[in-house]
Structure 1
Amino acid sequence: MPLRPEYTSDLLIDGKLVPGSGGAFDVVNPATEEVIGQASQATAADMDAAIAAARTAFDTTDWSRDHAFRARCLRQLRDALAGHFDELRELTVAEVGCPVFLTHGPQLEGPVNDLGYFADLAESYTWTVDLGEASPMGIKNHRELRSEAIGVVGAITPWNFPHQINFAKIGPALAAGCTVVLKPAPDTPWCAALVGKVIAEETDIPAGVINIVTSTDHELGAQLTADPRVDLISFTGSTATGRAVMTTAAASLKKVFLELGGKSAFLVLDDADLGSACAMAAFNVVTHAGQGCAITTRLVVPREKLAEATELTRNALAGLPAADPEKPGTICGPLISARQRDRVEEYIALAVAEGGTVETGGDRPADADRGYFVSPTLISGLDNSARVAQEEIFGPVLVILAHDGDDDAIAIANDSPYGLSGQVWGTDPDRIDRVVRGVRTGTMGINGGIWYAADVPFGGYKQSGIGREMGVAGFAEYLETKAVARPA
């Protein structure tokens, strides 16, 4: 599937590749601002058909009960997608604007390979637990617990890491025996559409088990959330939209999984290697132009080392410029859209208005006359109450803050509506462990430790979400528990 202007993707509904009944919409390369093709524009009627297909497939087939078949289908999908890595890589860089190096990890190959982990879970999971005998009210019974698929899953995903987030929902949902309607972000429809094409043409996944509906109409997400035929909504996106999802889902009391925003802290203790810590903090915040909910965007350093840390971080960011994502060595590509670039620039202006200093960046790269680029930016001179220290910016913007000891560092990290991720750097294991225990967040890295993997649950505290994705805990989100008793 070469990238060409006349390319139009199809929807996947009930096992068939079909055009959207609303026509098509443009797909834009964020690094060049060029229209590179079109994607199918679904309507409410298309979404209704997709939900109906998923409901029928769940209610009338053996998909939810045939664990071995599901595992085979997931491995088949993994292997088929691996055969398309070259075109998927080209498509992903062009549509998402992510640097090429990320497609060898969480932007493509990692999530595809993770389908094997969920296939293994479908086969190895303990679907029935024997509770033995008991005599409630003097009557001897034998009891067991059964795990069963929850039903139809509505998956609503964002644009920043489309393959990672799509497969973090599709993989465990299908492995658990659910059927799925996937509504991907309108900024990155092709990443999902090509997967739909591979499913339809190269796998034995039955018709209706997975349906993929692309559209610029955000009301389709609300339609999916409100529909009583849908048993669970798995949403990744902003906290504000997550609240709306919860409100809409409440009418039918369906289960909701939410992976939302973050404003994670990178805590540097006074015994840490300051140079290494500041270099890693800079690398983290520019990766994919800071467009990641778990990226650490607050660098919290000892007050007595603030000036030195500011200089080290400023120099590190200056060596990581925003550049063409296809260029070897690029870490910081473009933002996804002009709208997102405007948002980031507004936050930088706000930081200055609040009394902050832009130590480096804060502008558009001089050599980029096209593309939605913002130079990696370091802001100093503010405290943790500033809006740029409290609100998720979703760009390559790092705020450096001072702490007065370990307890104060923990307090600053926790002084946030979010609790998604974090880092702590130091040398004393006891102090590090105390910080890890004190910070209320779903994931923590120690001295650059990487928690991202298929078997590690991901999610957050507070307004960063509800539930966990990935790992056995993420798999269990798609299950119901049934207690069964019979006379002994």
Structure 2
Amino acid sequence: MQTAKQLIDGRWLTHVSGGERIGQAINPATGDVAALFCDGTAAEAEAAVAAALRAFDNTAWKRSPRLRAEVLLDFAAKLDARKEEIADWLVTLNGKLRREALGEIGAGISELRYYAGLARNLFGRVLEVEPGCYSSLDREAAGVCAIILPWNAPVTLLVRSLAPALAAGCTVVIKPACQTAVVNNMVLECMTGDTRVPAGVINSVIESGADVSRYLCESPDIDVISFTGSSAVGKLIAQNTAPTLKRLSLELGGKAPAVVFADADMDKTVAGLVAGGMVMAGQQCTAITRVLVEDAAYDAVAQKLVAALKAVKVGPGNDPASQMGCLIDVRNRDRINALMDTAQATQRVLLRGNVPGGALARGAFIEPSLVEVQDLSSDFIQKELFGPLLVIERFSNEDEAVTRANATRFGLAASVWSSDMKKSRRIAARLRSGTVWSNSHNRLFAEAETGGFRDSGYGRLHGAEGLNDFLQTKHFYFETNS
């Protein structure tokens, strides 16, 4: 059985001291133990941070952009060579569809190649402020970075922070989710065998609790934290890092609205809504969770959406016939099921998704649901539910559509569905979301920045701006006339 280990100072370890603790990772589709992981403590975190600091201070890594570019390109090639094996494990430990797993790994490969190019293009600038007096503005690596990850997309979410951090010349300490730590280990193995990379540049510490994360937040030797996860945890990180004034990149929760106008192509729109809402069984921060429909099209969209969601085939991620996998665990399945009990008592339920019987009953499977809600104060609108549960709302005009779409504290992503591109652009400009798609959803690229507004966090990932959180600017002044 695979056991995920700690990576500290170039070595794969169980623990740095005695009292080893081993945790179990469960296959959410079957309920069986699928892998093991070494459950780390603050002692492992301390050792990892010390190794990363030594590598940053005492090696040439931060001054070697060509080497970093070559390392990232080789990293991408090795990840590509192992993608089938890693996808199998991603399906086993996460429960997502195999095509989703392969798509996620492909995105990581693209990200590595993109930042390999940027690693050789970290330009500063020089200006002559007055005759013979110059200011050189140099772009330098920010220091030691901590990357704290969730379980829902462990490859993409690792690489989209790791690639720019390494491209910038930083050293890193990764805290992966224990559920999918084996996958993260396999990804890191694609780089750790590279003898050109100094020991300590990449470190990883797994834990089931919060001691490691707390240490990373409080350590004065960590300069940057890149976190993906819930808004509640993101706010705790912001509080715990305040005494050391760390730089933070926080991509947090989402409540993505899809604004559907009556002039949209209804068949394509409904197909897009299902794909955008049921991706990874709704366990994605950018997934559609709210469907806002113009009055004139409301009944038709609701009817078509019920039929389309009812037709979604729920099943194991390794079954090619499956159209949606399971949730991460039975606890979350039961949480969504309980939410539907509440919905039936308080709202108009258009489609009740049930826990399947038979062979799927042991796993964390639940069918898609659709609930009609108009009260903007409802928890079904205001809270992130993170599952295959869509809310449908109606609006009468553009102003009401914008008001409803902006009625939560979340602002990560949204989409507008209309045949009128001017209208889509007009609405997008008024939506308080970091990303707005037109007649599509979840179109993410290495080249294009994403990030949130308000409770969905701050900082940007992907694109050229994705480097900013891992770089700092140094002003060097010199004179040539004396």
TM range (shorter): over 0.9
* Cα pair 1:269 1:405 within 8 Å, conserved: no
* Deviation, structure 1 residue 321: 2.7
- Matching of residue 14 in structure 1 with residue 9 in structure 2: yes
What SS does the corresponding residue of 1:187 show, helix, strand or coil? helix
CA drift of 1:200 comes to 2.6
CA-to-aligned-CA distance 1:135-190 (integer Å, 9 cap, x gap):
3xxx7411121100000001101010110100011100000000000001122111
- Asked if 1:144 corresponds to 2:136, the answer is yes
1:33-48 matches, cutoff 5 A: 33-48=31-46
Which letter maps to 2:73? R
Aligned-pair CA distance for 1:304: 3.1
Identity among equivalent pairs (%): 34
CA distance, structure 1, for counterparts of residue 431 and residue 353 of structure 2: 30
* Stretch of structure 1 that moved more, 22-31 or 154-163: 22-31
Contact 2:449–2:463 (8 Å) recurs in 1: yes
Residue 369 of structure 2 is aligned to residue 377 of structure 1: yes
- 1:277-321 C-alpha deviation (Å, 9 max, x unpaired): 122112211111000000111000012322221111000101113
Kindly indicate whether residue 332 of structure 2 is the aligned counterpart of residue 336 of structure 1. Answer: no
Aligned equivalents of 1:315 and 1:376: distance in 2?
11
**Structure 2 unmatched ranges of 5 or more:** none
Structure 1, 213-222 or 200-209: larger mean CA deviation: 200-209
Aligned to 2:172: 180
Q: Aligned-pair distance for 1:477?
A: 1.3
Q: Which segment is superposed worse, 220-229 or 355-364? A: 355-364
Residue 151 (structure 2) pairs with residue 156 (structure 1): no
Asked if 1:464 is matched to 2:451, the reply is: no
Question: CA deviation digits over 1:72-119, x for unaligned, max 9?
Answer: 11112111222212211111110111101112212x122123201111
- Say whether the 8 Å CA contact 1:356–1:382 is kept in structure 2: no
Equivalent position SS for 2:145: strand
1:20-99 residue pairs with structure 2 within 5 A? 20=15, 21=17, 22-99=20-97
Q: Distance in 1 between matches of 2:38 and 2:442?
A: 37
Amino acid aligned to 1:129: R
Deviations 1:254-277 (A, max 9, x none): 111100000010001121122321
Deviation per residue, 1:443-472 (Å, 9 max, x gap): 111011654000111101110001101111
The answer (yes or no) to whether the contact 2:3–2:182 under 8 Å persists in 1 is no
**Higher mean C-alpha deviation, range 424-433 or range 165-174:** 424-433
1:366 deviation in Å?
Answer: 3.1
Partner of 2:126: 130
CA distance in 2, matches of 1:311, 1:412: 22
Mapped to 1, the partners of 2:365 and 2:69 lie a distance apart of 42
> Does 2:397 match 1:397?
no
Q: Structure 1 residues 395 and 449, CA, compared in 2 at 3 Å: closer, same or farther? A: closer
Alignment of 1:430-469 (within 5 A): 430-448=422-440, 451-469=443-461
Supply the distance in 2 between the matched residues of 1:67 and 1:474 (Cα, whole angstroms).
17
Report the AA paired with residue 303 of structure 2.
E
Corresponding position of 2:108: 111
TM-score, normalization: structure 2? 0.96
User: Kindly tell me: are residues 449 and 37 of structure 1, through their superposed partners in 2, closer, same or farther at Cα, counting changes over 3 Å?
Assistant: closer
What is the DSSP-based 3-state SS (H/G/I as helix, E as strand, rest coil) of the residue aligned with 2:198? coil
User: Within 1, Cα distance between the matches of 2:417 and 2:71?
Assistant: 43
Task: Call closer, same or farther: CA 1:435–1:256 in 2, change over 3 Å.
Answer: same
Task: Find 1:120's aligned residue among 112, 117, 120.
Answer: 117
Match of 2:305 among 305, 313, 335: 313
The amino acid that maps onto 1:399 is V
1:268 is the counterpart of 2:260: yes
Matching residue of 1:253 = 245
Deviation at 1:364, TM superposition (A): 0.7
AA partner of residue 240 (structure 2): T
Kept in 2, the 8 Å contact 1:343–1:393? The answer is no
Q: Hey, what does 1:362 align to over in structure 2?
A: 353
Distance across 2 between alignment mates of 1:257 and 1:473:
12
CA–CA separation in structure 1 for the residues paired with 2:43 and 2:325 = 37
* Rounded Cα–Cα distance in structure 2 between residues aligned with 1:203 and 1:34: 37
Cα-to-partner distance string for 1:208-258 (whole Å, 9 max, x where unaligned): 001011111222111111100000111110000000000000011111110
Residue 101 of structure 1: which of 80, 90, 99 is its match?
99
Q: Is 1:286 aligned to 2:278, yes or no? A: yes
Q: Secondary structure at the match of 1:105?
A: helix
| Structure 2 Cα separation of the partners of residues 450 and 170 of structure 1 | 21
Change (3 A) 1:381 1:175: closer
Task: Tell me whether 1:324 sits opposite 2:320 in the alignment.
Answer: no
Specify the SS of the correspondent of 1:352: helix
Q: Distance in 1 between matches of 2:274 and 2:187?
A: 34
Q: What is the deviation of 1:359? A: 1.8
| Alpha-carbon separation, structure 1, partners of 2:23 and 2:352 | 34
402-411 or 322-331, larger mean C-alpha shift: 322-331
In the TM superposition, what whole-angstrom CA distance separates every residue of 1:183-211 from its partner, at most 9, and x where no partner exists?
Answer: 01122111111223333334532100010
Instruction: Verify the 8 A CA contact 1:76 1:203 in the aligned structure 2.
Output: no
1:44 Cα shift?
1.4
Q: What is the CA–CA distance in structure 1 between the aligned matches of 2:435 and 2:223, rounded to whole Å? A: 28
Kept after mapping to 2: 8 A contact 1:419/1:462: yes
Distance 2:101 2:438 in 1: 25
Q: Which residue of 2 aligns with 1:3?
A: none
